[in-house]
Structure 1
Amino acid sequence: MTDTDIERAAGLSPFTGLARADWERTADELLAAVRPHAGAGDSLLQLPGPASGSGRHSDGLEGYARTFLLAAFRAAHAEECHAERVLAPYAAGLATGTDPRSPHHWPSPATTPQPKVEAASVAIGLHETRRQVWDQLPDAVRQRAADWLGGLAGTEVPRNNWVWFKAVVAAFLRSVGAPYSAADIADAIESTESWYAGDGWYADGARVPGQLTNFDHYNAWAMHLFPLWYCRISGAAAEPGLAERYRARLRAFLPDAAHLVAANGAPLFQGRSLTYRFAVAAPFFTGALFDATPLPPGLTRRAGSGILRYFLDRGATRENGLLSLGWHDRFELIRQVYSGPASPYWASLAFTGLLLPPGHPVWTAPEEQLPVERADFIRGLAAPGWLVSGTTADGVVRVVNHGADHTPADRPARDDPFYARLAYSTHTAPDLGPALNLRGDPEAHARDGDARGGQGPDNRVALIGADGSLSHRSPLRRVAFDGRAAVSRHEPHWPVPGQLDRESWPVGPSLVTASVCHGPWEVRLVAAAEAGHTVGVGGHALAAAEPPHCRTGPGHVLVTRPDGLTSGLVVLRSPAGTPTLRVQRAHGANAFGPHSATPVYEAPGTPHAVAVFLGATTGDALPPAPRAELAPGAATVRWPDGSHDTVAW
């Protein structure tokens, strides 16, 4: 950028410093970095890293399809010569990949799981580059491409956002006069209605009808984006009123989404597929593209550019310009079984903003402050059962979770650390253990999510077994939610390795947990159905390049990072008199740094009241803590500013 460009960007983008030219340059750099990894014929991009569960062949297709999305978005308003240069290898790769005689052909979506996803990316890429790519292809290649995409029709897919991959492909095939599955389209539309939870939130599928608990970032980058793209591809062939229905829901969701972005651009660390990183910026630009946003243009760019810059500044492309499997930089514990070396390139969805012309207000309006930069807030998200708190002093956004769980409510499962924790934030992550091998368990794929061994105590409320092991929470059941306080119940249990009959796993008395939030504080109230057990409560795990500083004093335990962010526990009421307070440290288990530490409370009996703190501090002192007054069936929490909240639990 020239000095003039930099000055202009600073004037329009005082928070992120990023202009449209920076997004274009980033797209060009990402595309250039993958080219050395393209095989003969440009159909497979084999990036370095561990193979996914679908295998290296499928991973090569994933590299092609996900970067084709990026190339298509980049080419939309590029100079003609630049667009041709960007798209040329993808046109060549399409000809090679769809040729069954080529040694570099693509695996079929009819026989391999992951190509079902990638087929939708190929379809969107072809739609967005119709003039430059599809219309220029020889008839034989177009026929082969239609045949390959048509292999997805009528295939079995997981009953979640994957139904839209079939519908998007069907819409593209219909648009080019090829055979398509109308049943796939009808199924996606009907299923999506059954998963809509209101207020702009979808569950990502539901194993049991009406049990909507699968809430995470897929609401943003899949459940809103792909239905609207189905309508975009379909044009006049889309079902009457469908586009406006989906636009209205995205309009309802985006204010919540804006409240989930930290001042430093960090998105919430919760849910699966987090290695997609800045894909979470996609709904902001999608809202502008489809006239489906209540957010001012400057806030749309502030959110999207903040998220992009957050990851670029923290090493996401440190490895030769490639997006690694990880969060900031490489951190392979974050990956799921379906994650391959090219999986992070679903981050390409963030570049939907490049489909907006350079003169669009999203690119020309001055950036506006995020909600967390304007004022402290408590926001209740009723659909997922989240209490969201943001504080301007440190820019942190926290979520207390009393409704989202990736386990169906009818049977116990192994806790998924991306869903089963009581709290998440933009500045912390759970300590992760290695993935468990559950291939011999017929229930595991559907019910165990991302099962892990050796999980930490962070943000867990559990019973402590005789051997010191923590009980599992999943599945949880929401009891009450009023926007400022929330209550959930779970049946503590201890999964037994190799024991497939979940009903025979050891169980403990049910635990009821209530949360009340105010500023950087959350008061956790815990009651066990029986008193003869020890209860453990963990605070947020803090991670850094160096071991965090830890200190324990009368009735409290604190963990502090070098930047001043502190995770603390303060005892408000313990039936044991003097509870055990300690710090649990881990190494190499946390996406935010190699050294992590978690404050932990343990005490027998019932009930318990603990104040959990996450925020910036100066020196060694926490701000004044809240107080809790417990009565039968209710509790009143009194805050240092004189306000109070009462919760029935």
Structure 2
Amino acid sequence: MAGGTAALTTADAATAAKQPKQAQLSDRAYMAGLLQKMAEPILVNMAKGELKKAFPIEVAPTWDGRDKNVAHMEAFGRLMAGAAPWLSLPDTATPEGQVRKRLTAAAVQAYVHSVDPNSPDYLLWRGHGQALVDSAFFTNALMRASKQLWEPLDATTQKRVVEEIKGLRRVSPPYTNWLLFAAMNEAFLLMIGEDWDPMRVDLAVKKMEEWYVGDGWVADGSKFHFDYYNSYVIYPMLVEILEVLKAYDAKFNNLKPADELAKWLKRMQRYGEHLERFVSSTGTYPPIGRSLTYRTAVFQPLGLLAWRKSLPPSLAEGQVRAAITAAHKSIFTDPSNFTADGYLTIGFAGHQPTLGDRYSNNGSMYITSEGFVSLGLAEDDSYWTSPAQDWTQKKAFSNQTFPKDYAVDY
């Protein structure tokens, strides 16, 4: 038996050696393919006005009892915020470029349905405060890819979007990261030439400064929470709001958008250094805090810095790309992250519904797309073509030289 088994193994190995080896996916192909898998069921169905019919809602065991139909707005708005940088790239003849072209067309039609009261996929804009949260992702996407997503919309749809966004001024945000949702919507209105409320923006910027605790970390309210809301919301939204204020030379009170942007970008770079150091030598990272099931949205600040070509000197592009790709593989290796129909499930590194919070539904999970912001860089950009480099923990645990880390005072 032993001899026979050895002979069979040797023969199989010889046969396999003659077969062409399957090319390993590049980091770019892996990330783009994963985002496509995430986006396809949402956008294809919603483009036809059939998302509500097709989307199987799942809620956490501790669900707080709110209308479950918030899930559709969460899924669409959050997905679009993360996918928009990718869809903002110009059309190309590459296979990826053709996928982007098709999904962009679907996204535009989905936006039409989202605000059409006569559509089966008209979103739940009214009657609850949660709409303010997801409207900010909805408008952030339109800001990130305005030429591809906002400008192609017909005049009626654009008018409806503005009406729904302004209507959400009825929601009084609590003194938490929610202030940034209100501010994001006002920044969007400023960008498209509508009347906007500078006080909502001013309050958010001032509160973030008040809650800055140092060394790149911001508290979410008056008390510090050790979680990833600096990644999910605070840094990306604050920096992008300030970018709009600077671009449109917005002046009010004593706020100086250019100075604020430079300061917060520097702080986000510091926070990005921490995120990179969180990635273990095998690609895992700490499962901490609220909204743990938002998965790789944790790495949004690093993706945004890469997209803006603003990574700190301490972080090489190939190093960041390798770390982020490894982190995605550590999460998405388990197929139960998706249902059989291709929708995201509640979980962290698989289907783990008990990890959901009282506000968690499977639509909430689509904020995961924010981990793919670096796809806004073209396929031939140096971020994607530079050689992969070991990240900090991989160096540390393989007896390589790596930089020590010290707190900063900005």
Q: Normalising to structure 1: TM-score of the pair?
A: 0.52
Q: Which runs of 5+ in 1 are unaligned?
A: 10-17, 207-211, 376-390, 394-481, 484-649
8 Å contact 2:57–2:361 — kept in the other structure? Answer: no
Of 287-296 and 60-69, the range deviating more from structure 2: 287-296
Structure 1 residue corresponding to 2:129, chosen from 98, 113, 117? 113
8 Å contact 1:47–1:60 — kept in the other structure? Answer: no
8 Å contact 2:339–2:345 — kept in the other structure? Answer: yes
Structure 1 residue corresponding to 2:375, chosen from 351, 354, 358? 354
Give yes or no for the alignment of 1:122 onto 2:138. yes
Give yes or no for the alignment of 1:315 onto 2:335. yes
8 Å contact 2:162–2:189 — kept in the other structure? Answer: yes
Distance 1:49 1:36 in 2: 20
Distance 1:95 1:36 in 2: 13
8 Å contact 1:47–1:63 — kept in the other structure? Answer: no
SS at match of 2:373: helix
Give yes or no for the alignment of 1:250 onto 2:272. no
SS at match of 1:323: coil
Task: Work out which structure has the larger RCO, using CA pairs closer than 8 Å and 6 or more positions apart in sequence.
Answer: 2
What corresponds to 1:178 in structure 2?
194
Distance 1:241 1:292, change over 3 A: farther
8 Å contact 1:221–1:279 — kept in the other structure? Answer: yes
Amino acid of the residue matched to residue 303 of structure 1?
A
8 Å contact 1:153–1:170 — kept in the other structure? Answer: no
Distance 1:283 1:316, change over 3 A: farther
Give yes or no for the alignment of 1:148 onto 2:157. no
What corresponds to 1:86 in structure 2?
103
| CA root-mean-square deviation | 2.6
Distance 1:46 1:29 in 2: 15
Distance 1:179 1:366 in 2: 47
| Deviation readout 1:122-153 (Å, 9 max, x if unpaired) | 11111223222321222111111011111223
Distance 2:232 2:55 in 1: 24
| Deviation readout 1:473-517 (Å, 9 max, x if unpaired) | xxxxxxxxx99xxxxxxxxxxxxxxxxxxxxxxxxxxxxxxxxxx
| Deviation readout 1:397-423 (Å, 9 max, x if unpaired) | xxxxxxxxxxxxxxxxxxxxxxxxxxx
What corresponds to 1:345 in structure 2?
366
Give yes or no for the alignment of 1:72 onto 2:84. yes
Identity %: 23
Alignment length (residue pairs)? 363
Distance 1:115 1:240, change over 3 A: same
Distance 1:358 1:58 in 2: 35
8 Å contact 2:242–2:258 — kept in the other structure? Answer: no
Of 29-38 and 174-183, the range deviating more from structure 2: 29-38
SS at match of 2:346: coil
Give yes or no for the alignment of 1:46 onto 2:55. yes
SS at match of 1:56: coil
Give yes or no for the alignment of 1:225 onto 2:236. yes
Structure 2 residue corresponding to 1:327, chosen from 343, 348, 364? 348
Give the CA deviation at 1:268: 0.7
Give yes or no for the alignment of 1:199 onto 2:215. yes
Give yes or no for the alignment of 1:304 onto 2:320. no
Distance 1:248 1:144 in 2: 37
What corresponds to 2:115 in structure 1?
98
Q: Which has a greater percent of strand? A: 1
8 Å contact 1:43–1:105 — kept in the other structure? Answer: no
What corresponds to 2:289 in structure 1?
271
SS at match of 2:56: coil
Structure 2 residue corresponding to 1:167, chosen from 183, 199, 202? 183
Amino acid of the residue matched to residue 305 of structure 1?
T
What corresponds to 2:6 in structure 1?
none
Give the CA deviation at 1:94: 2.1
Give the CA deviation at 1:196: 0.3
Distance 1:34 1:164 in 2: 26
Give the CA deviation at 1:90: 2.5
Give the CA deviation at 1:346: 0.5
Distance 1:4 1:205 in 2: 53
Distance 1:4 1:315, change over 3 A: closer
Look at both structures and tell me which one has the larger radius of gyration over its CA atoms. 1
Give the CA deviation at 1:105: 2.2
Distance 2:45 2:158 in 1: 25
What corresponds to 1:188 in structure 2?
204
What corresponds to 2:32 in structure 1?
24
Give the CA deviation at 1:39: 8.6
8 Å contact 2:293–2:355 — kept in the other structure? Answer: yes
8 Å contact 1:301–1:362 — kept in the other structure? Answer: yes
What corresponds to 1:487 in structure 2?
none
Of 44-53 and 278-287, the range deviating more from structure 2: 44-53
SS at match of 1:197: strand
Give the CA deviation at 1:32: 2.1
Amino acid of the residue matched to residue 169 of structure 2?
A
Distance 2:118 2:91 in 1: 35
8 Å contact 2:84–2:144 — kept in the other structure? Answer: yes
Distance 1:34 1:228, change over 3 A: same
8 Å contact 1:281–1:303 — kept in the other structure? Answer: no
What corresponds to 1:414 in structure 2?
none
Give the CA deviation at 1:38: 4.1
Distance 1:229 1:202 in 2: 16
Structure 2 residue corresponding to 1:261, chosen from 270, 276, 279? 279
8 Å contact 1:199–1:249 — kept in the other structure? Answer: yes
8 Å contact 2:78–2:137 — kept in the other structure? Answer: yes
Of 97-106 and 322-331, the range deviating more from structure 2: 97-106
Q: Following superposition of structure 1 onto structure 2, how do residues 124-523 of structure 1 map, counting pairs within 5 Å?
A: 124-153=140-169, 155-206=171-222, 212-234=223-245, 235-237=247-249, 239-290=257-308, 291-294=310-313, 295-320=315-340, 321-375=342-396
Distance 1:40 1:356, change over 3 A: closer
Q: Normalising to structure 2: TM-score of the pair?
A: 0.81
8 Å contact 2:86–2:377 — kept in the other structure? Answer: no
Distance 2:248 2:104 in 1: 28
SS at match of 2:69: helix
Give the CA deviation at 1:83: 3.3
Distance 1:5 1:183 in 2: 57
Give the CA deviation at 1:256: 1.8
Distance 2:263 2:21 in 1: 43
Distance 1:319 1:392 in 2: 37
| Deviation readout 1:273-324 (Å, 9 max, x if unpaired) | 1111111121211122231433111111022111111111133534223321
